[in-house]
Amino acid sequence: MTHIDAGAGPAEVHPVRAPVRAGGLTAAEVAERVARGQVNDVPVRSSRSLTEIVRANVLTRFNAIIGVLWLIMLFVAPIQDSLFGFVILANTGIGIVQEWRAKQTLDSLAVIGEARPTVRRDGIAAEVGTGEIVLDDLLEVGPGDKIVVDGVCVEADGLEIDESLLTGEADPVLKRPGATVMSGSFVVAGGGAYQAAKVGREAYAAQLAEEASRFTLVHSELRTGISTILKYVTWMMVPTAIGLVVSQLVVQHSALKDSVARTVGGIVPMVPEGLVLLTSVAFAIGVIRLGRKQCLVQELPAIEGLARVDTVCLDKTGTLTEGGMDVSELRALDGYDEAYVRRVLGALGESDPRPNASLRAIIDAYPDSEDWRCVESLPFSSARKYSGATFSEGDGQASTWLLGAPDVLLPDGSPALAETGRLNERGLRVLLLARAGGDLDDPGITRSVTPAALVVLEQRLRPDAAGTLGYFTAQNVRAKVISGDNAVSVGAVAAKVGLTGTAVDARRLPADRDGMARVLEEGTVFGRVTPRQKRDMVGALQSRGHTVAMTGDGVNDVLALKDADIGVSMGSGSEATRAVAQIVLLDNSFAGLPSVVAEGRRVIGNITRVATLFLVKTVYSVLLALLVTAWQVEYPFLPRHLTLLSTLTIGVPAFFLALAPNTERARPHFVRRVMRYAVPGGVVAAVATFTAYLVARHHYTGPGSLEAETSAATLTLFLVSMWVLAIIARPYTWWRIALVAAMGAAFLCVLVVPGLQRFFALELVGTTLPWVAVGIAAVAAAALELLWKWVGRRFPA
């Protein structure tokens, strides 16, 4: 039921400062307002500026720590011990470049998908950018249009506005001239015009647009999990680093420069600095890849969110079927003459200035005869499922006609309903033309109708729908078709694209959430769904633990799109749906969804994979520092050694692994899933390395023995880290095997090329200790295999 609003709204506006004219402002008046700055200078897409991107990538907590350590090393040690600083500079530069490219992609796509409201000036209606609207402009609106600035209604033809995004009230509000219209609301039925009373940052639309189109790298489980990990790493790092400093500088009484170098060598690898960078790069490259496929990601974590989706709710129109329809048959009822019925349909088409797809097909098939005059019209509403008009016919008589869903306009048992059912079973859409005995504004008008004809419409199936649904089935993502059309008809259409299952009439759905959720679990196709029910159905599925994506292009999809975990809108959809959706398919291709899902899965799966590599290093670095402090011995590594190990076993492999294909569905509990492998892996690596180091300390004696001890420990840690990499790289493909082999070959080159030996201070002395190191690493590798298998069984993901 609609509410009549005589002027009250969610908020008051300032009085209109200019007289209202039907033709709108003149060019001179527009120029005058522009000169005064009374322009709707709303913020453009809130993607980060280049300065903000540089600041976000450079001014981080860990960059500050490593930067200070790097400056220290530049003064006290050879340049090879400062390589870690140059690596950080390169990584940061890569992050800045990739995010800048992603920003350019997003901003260029945003221009394509930008809404252009219709403004009437000098008596001519034309589309302009939202930033070109000036105070007192006259804006025309119709179904699906968003109210972009606060204003006052000037013209109204059955104008119904949904203000639920502002007030939470789902029922549309009937607007009459003089009523307030608020930016952020949208038109669900009828049409009209309103005069801009607040523009720019004064209007709520500026805040809404900025929020809806935000480029962000936050508010995702992945990034939240990484932040949590980094917080714990900081807590562990501070006391461990203090203990290491005391151990190396005070207890050992070693040379200052060597002690500082080894202290820094123990602190630097505790920082998983590349993990944040790699996550940002993976997200940014995901945006660029999707941008090339005309997919606008309005909120960056949406890539991640869609990868976690296990249920996709599809609106039939615009996803399974194309927007256009064709009239395939006209069946006159109850003795009505077909020629007369055609004249009625032509007049109905003429009465609606903004026809929907069904009425547009009727207009194309039955042009208006122009001898009937429309006295009053009632635009189509997805809530009531019909439209109507009252005409003064050529002989002066008046008649009222309704056009809508047969099962809404007719009582149960009507013969026309049986015929409608047979047509619906063939996947055809059927509208009933009926003569009404009451007034259009009478809520009970449908109780006194006389059926006149059935209009049979044939819907155009999207050629890509079957393949896309097949992809979701293969990926264990359940599809639910939710439509306002007849359930039998929708079920037949769904069957044509390979989606089988029970068709349910939503009017018979339980009102309570639990009952609705039970039916939704079992059913596949739902017809006669109201906009409010779409929203309730999304909530019911979420209450069962499902991650829900909602696709749609019509104004009746807005509430469900907003409440779904991920909202996906077509580029040709209404302005309101594009505003609330996180992802917009600019080419209107439903086939673009698998690309988004695949990109999200690639990002999350690969980041989860490589995060284990980074955190194994953090765990073994902290544990090695603790063991060194407890045993009061020199730290076994210089920064150059750990830079070499990090580059070959983590940095280079992680970059390739993070960008590799990955179709595994994203799973929750990122921190737990990463740490369950990182902790045992790091403990084994640290124990094996420290054991080899202690054995080497007992084996080698005399001056210069520390370099031999370091070389043995480095060999052990490299071999164990390589085994961790080999486990992470599974399942093996040719390029993953080649990647692991290349890293091993690179380390071998360092060991055998004299110049590289001297540069990295690595020289294996004798044959006994190197083989002991290999043996210790082999035992550690076997322990890793057993531990990780046990962890997988004991703590399943």
Question: Phi/psi of residue 524, each to 5°?
Answer: -120, -40
Cβ-Cβ contacts under 8 Å for 117 (sequence gap 6 or more): 127, 128, 130, 133, 139, 141, 145, 148, 575
Q: b/e string for 594-604 if b means 16 or more Cβ within 10 A? A: bbbbbbbbbbb
Chain-centre distance for alpha carbon 451: 46
Sheet holding 311-314, edge to edge: 295-297, 583-585, 566-570, 548-552, 311-314, 478-482, 525-527, 503-505
Whether 315 is a known active-site residue: answer: yes
* Pick from 659, 683, 677: nearest CA to 606: 659
Is the bond into 731 cis (omega within 30 degrees of 0)?
A: yes
Phi, psi values for residue 601, rounded to 5°: -65, -35
* Integer Cα distance of 86 and 126 in angstroms: 55
Q: Report phi then psi at 431, rounded to 5.
A: -115, 145
- Per the document, the length of the chain is 797
How many other C-beta atoms can be found within 10 angstroms of the C-beta atom of residue 745? 10
In 3D space, the residue among 531, 530, 479 whose CA is nearest the CA of residue 507 turns out to be: 530
Nearest residue to 194 via CA among 123, 142, 129:
142
Q: How far apart are CA 420 and CA 722, in angstroms?
A: 68
Tell which residue, 166, 180, 115, 169, has the closest CA to residue 144. Answer: 115
**N-term to C-term CA, the chain:** 48
Is the Cβ–Cβ distance between 356 and 380 less than 8 Å?
yes
Catalytic residue among 81, 310, 315, 565: 315
Q: Where are the beta strands (DSSP E) in 466-512?
A: 478-482, 503-505
Q: Provide CB contacts within 8 A for 211, sequence distance 6+.
A: none
Active site members? 315
